[in-house]
Chain A
C-alpha cells in the first residue's frame, strides 16, 4: 500500500458542500498536481466533522492542523505554504471568539474538549466511500465477533448491559427492543433503520449516514443476527441525497467484500440491506408511519399495539432503530456493554449526539457523555452566548420539546432530569435562546411546524394544532383576549392525552413549557399587548426597538 506523508481531509458533509467544499477540494488537488506532490499527499473527502458553521473545513494530517472557512483562493496558499514548505497558514486557523486566541490543532479545539465520540467516531475522520478505511478503524470486526463467537442471545445480553436507549426520541431500551423482536414468532423478520430525521436543525443522522455509512450497515447486520432477520431496510429522506449516495456506495462495497449478502465471513449468516427513500414527512419518523411508507402506503401512524416487534413491515416482526442508535452498536460489541454503561448516568447510559444551534458561539454537532451538565455544553463546548448576551433558555427536543430556563443551567443532560423539567432529550436538538428571543414567537413557530407536519389522521392533531396555532397567531398580532391562555391550556392537555401517535401527543409540549416557565411573557402579550423581547412586530413601541435588522436597539 502506498505511503503518503500527509493526508488532507476535506469535510464534505452537506453543510460544507453547500458552503463550497467541493471547489476547495478541487483547488487543493490542482495545487498538489502543480507541485507534483501527488505521490506524497493524499486528499480525502470525509463526512461531517461537526463544526458546520466553520466550513468549508480542511484538516491536514499528520499534524492535525485545522483550517476554517477555506475559500477556493485559500487552497493555493495551503498547498504552497503548508504542504510544500511546512508553514502553517495562520490566518486560516480557528480563532476563539471570546479569547481571540487561535487554535492550530483540531484536537485542541474547545469545541472538542469535552466530547466523547462513539456514534460519531468515524465521521469526519475517514473517507466514507472507502470501506478499507472503515475496516482499518476496526470496522466489521464487531460483526465478525458476533458471527464467530457469540450467540444471538449473548448479543442481546450485551446490548441490554450497555443500557443504550433509542436515540430517535422515545428513549426505549434498545436491548429490550431487540429481545422483543428476537422472541416474536415468525420466520421472516426485518431490521429497519430509521433515517427519517425531521426535527429542524438536527442532522446527526445525516452526518453519520454521510460520514460513516458502514457503521450503520454493520450494526444492522449485527441486529439481524441477534433478532433473526436476513433483510434490512434503511429509510432515508429524499432531502438527504448525499446520504443516499454514500449509503448506496457503501452497501455495494460491503456486498463486494462479502460483508453483506450470503454466507457472510463463511459463517452461514445471510443479510442484505435495501434503501427506501421517503418523501420527507416529519411524521414518517414515527415508526408505524415509517413502515407504512416503506410498504408504499400513505405515511401515517397506526395505533399500537400491535407493536412493530410483533407486527411490523408487511405484518412481520420488525426491529426499528434509528441511525445514531445503530452506529453506537459496533463499539458496544467490541468493547462490551459494560464499557458503554460506564459512561452516562444510572438510567441514561453512554453518549448522546446533540445538535447545538441558536445564539451560541460554536454551533454544530457534539457527542457528549449523558449526564453532562448543560452548562458545560453551552459554555465549554459551545463557547458561550453569541455577542455576550444573556442566556434566556435552552430549548431541548425541538418542536416537540420544551424549555430549560437559565436557572436550570446545571441540569444533568439525561432522560430523567429533562423529563422532570417538562422537556426531553428527544432527537438531540438544543436551541440556545438569548434575551432577544421572544418565547411566544418561537413557540408559535414550533406549533406551526407540528401543524404543518401533522399527517391529518386524528382529530386532536389535525384540528387541535390548527386552533392552537390560530390562538398564538392572534396573540402575537396583538389580538389576544381574556381566556386565550386558558383555552390554550385546555387544548394542550386534550391533545397530549388524546392524539393517536407520539408526535401528536408531543405537539403541545413547547406551549406547555412556555406556560410553565414564561407565563408572564405570554401574559404581557395577551394583556398588555407588549412583546418584552421586541420581536412580535405588532407589539413593540418603535421600529428601532426591533432587533431584526442590524441589531439596532
Chain B
C-alpha cells in the first residue's frame, strides 16, 4: 500500500493511502470527537462533529470521511473548528429532549459527554421538533425516536453487519426517523432482537426492555421460589459495570452479588451448556451415522434462530432441534429441580441473566413451556443485572467470591467457552471426539475455531471420519455460509453460528460500550475462565451424568425430546412486497 505524508496540527504523520484524517490524527494522539462514526461500519460524514480545517478546502471537512492526501495540512483545533463543533452540538441538543437524569443512558451517553466536554451551557437555538411515537412493540427492544440524533449507526449495523435491515431512515429531512418502515413497528419487522443497534446507539434512542421490576417483585414475593441462571459470557462482562477492566473474570463476585439480591438459588447456564453438548453432539452423531440432514447447525443463539426463520426457512431442517441452554435450563428448573427440591413448579420464578436481548424474545416463544409453565419467566441482560446490583448498593468489586448452588450450578470449561465465537464447536469437538474414539484428547484446545475472523473452517479427524466444521459469527457472515450451503458449496458436517460479532460476549445485552477491542478482551477472559476449570469437557460433568442417570436416561431419549428439543417456525419477511 502506498503511503502518504500529511501534517496534522503541525505534526507530520505518515499513513497508508486511503486512511482517513480521523484515523491519521489518532496516530499523533489527537482524538477528534465523533458521533456518527463507527469504524468500517458507519462512515457517512453525517453528524459533522468531526470537522477540521484542511488547507485549500473551501469548507470545513469531516475528518471521518476525508482521505489523507500527500502534503495535506490539517488543523483540528482552531476557533472555526471549535465554533462549528459547538454549533453542531447545540443544534442537535435543540432537537433532543433534555431528559438526561431519567434516561437509560444517563452518564453513558456520547452526546452528553460531548456537551460536557465542550462546556455547552446554553443552547442558542430552539424551535419545534417532530414528535414520534415510542415503539414498545418488541419484547426485547424499545425505540424512542425523540432521542435519536440520526447518526445511522444502528441502521448501518443492522444492514451491514447483520444483513437484516430491520430499521433504516424513513421520511425525509427534519422529519426523518429511523424505523422499521413507514407505520411499521419493530415487532412486525424482520428484527431478530440481537440488540447490536442498542450497543452502538450513542444516546438512549434504542434500548433493551427493562424487566428488573418484574424480578424485584418476584424477589419480594414470599410465595415465590426465585432461581436464577447466568450465561457464560456475563461473568466476563459484568465487571465493566463496576469499573473493572473489560474481560475481567468476575464469576465469584457475580454469584455472591446475585445471592445478596435475595435469589433462592443461583445456578449456572453453563450446566445447561454442558447438557446441550450431550444432546447436540449425540444429534450430530446420529445424523452422521444414519444419513440425516447435514450439515447440522447450532441453535443456541436466538437471534440467529429468528434470522433463519425469516430469511432461509428452507434451511431450517439443518438447525439442531436442541433448545438453547437458557431454555434447557428453564425446562429442567421447573421439572427436575422442582421435583428434587420439593417445590411446586407453579411457585418457581425462573430468571436468566443473559448477554442478549434476543433471549427475552426466546423466553416468550409460545413453544417454550415444556414444564407446563413458561420455562423462563424473565430474561435480564447484563446491563439490567448491573442496574439491580447498583440499586441494592452492593459493593461488587470488594465482595468475597462465592460458588454456584448445586446441582444446576456445576459445569465445565467446555460450557464457559459457549460465550465466545467457536466455543460451542470446540466444546462439541472435545466431547464428540472422546465419545466416538474412546481416547482422551491430548489437547482440548481447538484453536482453529477461535478468534474474530468472520468465517472459520477446520477439519478434525475423529476416528475414521474427517469431520469438517465451520464457524460464523455476526449474521452477515452467517449469510455467507448459508448462501454457500444453498448453492451446494458448503460441504460441512457441523456449523456453529452465533448471531452477534464475537459471539455472546458481544451480545446486545452486554455493557456499553462493546467494541472490537472490548470483544477481544472478553474473549480472552472466556478462555482464561476455561483454563481455570478443573473439568473442561461436557461429558465429564458429574451433575450432567447424574441428571441422565436419575432423570433423562440418555441423550435424545424420550424425556430429552420432551424437555430439551424444539421446533421452528417459517416466518416470512415483512418488507417483501
A303 at the interface (CB under 8 A from B): yes
With a CB–CB cut-off of 8 A, which chain B residues contact A456? 150, 169, 171-176
A471 vs chain B, min Cβ distance (A): 8
Query: Are B169 and A490 in contact, with the CB atoms below 8 A?
Result: no
B68 vs chain A, min Cβ distance (A): 11
A548 at the interface (CB under 8 A from B): no
Query: Are B128 and A470 in contact, with the CB atoms below 8 A?
Result: yes
B88 at the interface (CB under 8 A from A): yes
With a CB–CB cut-off of 8 A, which chain A residues contact B83? 494
With a CB–CB cut-off of 8 A, which chain A residues contact B126? 467
B67 at the interface (CB under 8 A from A): yes
Interface string of B119-154 (1 = CB under 8 A from A): 000001111100000000000000000000110100
B435 at the interface (CB under 8 A from A): no
Query: Are B59 and A505 in contact, with the CB atoms below 8 A?
Result: yes
Query: Are B91 and A497 in contact, with the CB atoms below 8 A?
Result: no
Question: How far apart sit A470 and B95, CA to CA, in the bound complex (Å)?
Answer: 13
With a CB–CB cut-off of 8 A, which chain A residues contact B150? 456-457, 462
Query: Are A467 and B125 in contact, with the CB atoms below 8 A?
Result: yes
Interface segment, one of A202-210, A403-411, A447-455:
A447-455
A466 at the interface (CB under 8 A from B): yes
With a CB–CB cut-off of 8 A, which chain A residues contact B87? 460, 490-491, 494, 498
B166 at the interface (CB under 8 A from A): no
* Closest chain A residue to B66, Cβ basis: A303
Query: Are A460 and B48 in contact, with the CB atoms below 8 A?
Result: yes
Question: How far apart sit A470 and B127, CA to CA, in the bound complex (Å)?
Answer: 7
Query: Are A460 and B88 in contact, with the CB atoms below 8 A?
Result: yes
**Residue from B67, B88, B174 within 8 A of A466 (CB atoms):** B174
A493 vs chain B, min Cβ distance (A): 9
Considering the complex, which residues of chain A in the window 452-506 have a beta carbon less than 8 Å from any beta carbon of chain B? 452-460, 462-467, 470, 487, 490-491, 494, 496-500, 505
A281 at the interface (CB under 8 A from B): yes
Question: How far apart sit A491 and B174, CA to CA, in the bound complex (Å)?
Answer: 16
Query: Contacts A466-B174, A467-B94, A496-B59; is A457 near B84 (CB within 8 Å)?
Result: no
A305 at the interface (CB under 8 A from B): yes
Query: Are B173 and A453 in contact, with the CB atoms below 8 A?
Result: yes
* Closest chain A residue to B45, Cβ basis: A303
A34 at the interface (CB under 8 A from B): no
Query: Are B125 and A459 in contact, with the CB atoms below 8 A?
Result: no
Query: Are B47 and A459 in contact, with the CB atoms below 8 A?
Result: yes
Considering the complex, which residues of chain B in the window 23-72 have a beta carbon less than 8 Å from any beta carbon of chain A? 44-49, 51, 59-60, 62, 65-67
B92 at the interface (CB under 8 A from A): yes
With a CB–CB cut-off of 8 A, which chain B residues contact A87? none
**Residue from B84, B124, B172 within 8 A of A487 (CB atoms):** B124
Query: Are A494 and B125 in contact, with the CB atoms below 8 A?
Result: no
Q: How many residue pairs between the two chains, A and B, have CB atoms under 8 Å in the bound complex? A: 99
With a CB–CB cut-off of 8 A, which chain B residues contact A453? 173
B184 at the interface (CB under 8 A from A): no
With a CB–CB cut-off of 8 A, which chain A residues contact B125? 467, 487, 491
Question: How far apart sit A494 and B83, CA to CA, in the bound complex (Å)?
Answer: 8
Query: Contacts A458-B46, A462-B150, A462-B173; is A498 near B127 (CB within 8 Å)?
Result: no
A298 at the interface (CB under 8 A from B): yes
A305 vs chain B, min Cβ distance (A): 6
Query: Are A302 and B173 in contact, with the CB atoms below 8 A?
Result: no
**Residue from B62, B80, B174 within 8 A of A462 (CB atoms):** B174
With a CB–CB cut-off of 8 A, which chain A residues contact B174? 451, 454, 456, 462-463, 465-466
Query: Are A463 and B92 in contact, with the CB atoms below 8 A?
Result: yes
**Residue from B51, B94, B128, B172 within 8 A of A455 (CB atoms):** B172
With a CB–CB cut-off of 8 A, which chain A residues contact B44? 302-303, 457
With a CB–CB cut-off of 8 A, which chain A residues contact B128? 466, 470
Question: How far apart sit A451 and B88, CA to CA, in the bound complex (Å)?
Answer: 17
B378 vs chain A, min Cβ distance (A): 38
Query: Contacts A451-B174, A498-B60; is A459 near B46 (CB within 8 Å)?
Result: yes
* Closest chain A residue to B171, Cβ basis: A456
Considering the complex, which residues of chain B in the window 214-262 have a beta carbon less than 8 Å from any beta carbon of chain A? none
Question: How far apart sit A305 and B21, CA to CA, in the bound complex (Å)?
Answer: 13
> Which residue, of B59, B67, B80, B168, has the highest number of chain A Cβ atoms within 10 A?
B59
Question: How far apart sit A453 and B300, CA to CA, in the bound complex (Å)?
Answer: 47
With a CB–CB cut-off of 8 A, which chain A residues contact B92? 459, 463
**Residue from B45, B67, B124, B127 within 8 A of A458 (CB atoms):** B45
Interface of A is mostly: helix
**Interface size of B in residues (CB-CB distance below 8 Å):** 38
Interface string of A437-451 (1 = CB under 8 A from B): 000000000000001
Question: How far apart sit A462 and B149, CA to CA, in the bound complex (Å)?
Answer: 11
Question: How far apart sit A305 and B17, CA to CA, in the bound complex (Å)?
Answer: 13
**Residue from B46, B84, B124, B176 within 8 A of A500 (CB atoms):** B46
Query: Are B172 and A498 in contact, with the CB atoms below 8 A?
Result: no
**Residue from A305, A452, A498 within 8 A of B84 (CB atoms):** A498
Question: How far apart sit A303 and B51, CA to CA, in the bound complex (Å)?
Answer: 13
* Closest chain A residue to B91, Cβ basis: A463
Question: How far apart sit A505 and B60, CA to CA, in the bound complex (Å)?
Answer: 11
Question: How far apart sit A312 and B37, CA to CA, in the bound complex (Å)?
Answer: 23
With a CB–CB cut-off of 8 A, which chain A residues contact B168? 298
A464 vs chain B, min Cβ distance (A): 6
* Closest chain A residue to B67, Cβ basis: A305
Query: Are B173 and A455 in contact, with the CB atoms below 8 A?
Result: yes
B163 vs chain A, min Cβ distance (A): 15
* Closest chain B residue to A454, Cβ basis: B173
Question: How far apart sit A353 and B59, CA to CA, in the bound complex (Å)?
Answer: 29
B433 vs chain A, min Cβ distance (A): 46
B561 vs chain A, min Cβ distance (A): 47
With a CB–CB cut-off of 8 A, which chain B residues contact A464? 91
With a CB–CB cut-off of 8 A, which chain B residues contact A454? 172-174
With a CB–CB cut-off of 8 A, which chain A residues contact B173? 451-456, 462
Interface string of A301-317 (1 = CB under 8 A from B): 01101000000000000
Query: Are B124 and A498 in contact, with the CB atoms below 8 A?
Result: no
Interface string of A326-343 (1 = CB under 8 A from B): 000000000000000000
With a CB–CB cut-off of 8 A, which chain A residues contact B48? 458-460, 498-500
Question: How far apart sit A452 and B173, CA to CA, in the bound complex (Å)?
Answer: 7
* Closest chain B residue to A495, Cβ basis: B87
Query: Contacts A496-B59, A498-B48, A500-B62; is A462 near B67 (CB within 8 Å)?
Result: no
A475 vs chain B, min Cβ distance (A): 13
**Residue from B49, B59, B175, B176 within 8 A of A497 (CB atoms):** B59
B2 vs chain A, min Cβ distance (A): 15
Query: Contacts A305-B67, A497-B60, A500-B46; is A460 near B91 (CB within 8 Å)?
Result: yes
B4 vs chain A, min Cβ distance (A): 13
With a CB–CB cut-off of 8 A, which chain B residues contact A505? 59
With a CB–CB cut-off of 8 A, which chain B residues contact A465? 174
With a CB–CB cut-off of 8 A, which chain A residues contact B84? 494, 497-498
With a CB–CB cut-off of 8 A, which chain B residues contact A281? 172
> Which residue, of B60, B62, B173, B175, has the highest number of chain A Cβ atoms within 10 A?
B173
Question: How far apart sit A540 and B442, CA to CA, in the bound complex (Å)?
Answer: 94
B341 vs chain A, min Cβ distance (A): 56
> Which residue, of B49, B66, B95, B172, has the highest number of chain A Cβ atoms within 10 A?
B172
> Which residue, of A298, A303, A460, A498, has the highest number of chain B Cβ atoms within 10 A?
A498
Q: Which 6 A-B pairs have the closest CB atoms?
A: A456-B176, A454-B173, A303-B65, A470-B127, A463-B91, A467-B125
Give 16 CB contacts A-B under 8 Å: A303-B44, A303-B62, A451-B174, A456-B172, A457-B150, A458-B46, A458-B47, A458-B48, A462-B173, A466-B127, A466-B174, A487-B124, A494-B83, A498-B51, A498-B84, A505-B59
Give the interface of A toward B (CB within 8 A). 281, 298, 302-303, 305, 451-460, 462-467, 470, 487, 490-491, 494, 496-500, 505
Give the interface of B toward A (CB within 8 A). 44-49, 51, 59-60, 62, 65-67, 80, 83-84, 87-88, 91-92, 94-95, 124-128, 149-150, 152, 168-169, 171-176
Knowing that A458-B45, A500-B45 are A-B contacts, what are 14 other residue pairs whose CB atoms are under 8 Å apart, sorted by A's residue number?
A451-B173, A456-B173, A458-B47, A458-B48, A459-B49, A462-B150, A463-B92, A463-B94, A465-B174, A494-B84, A498-B48, A498-B60, A500-B48, A505-B59
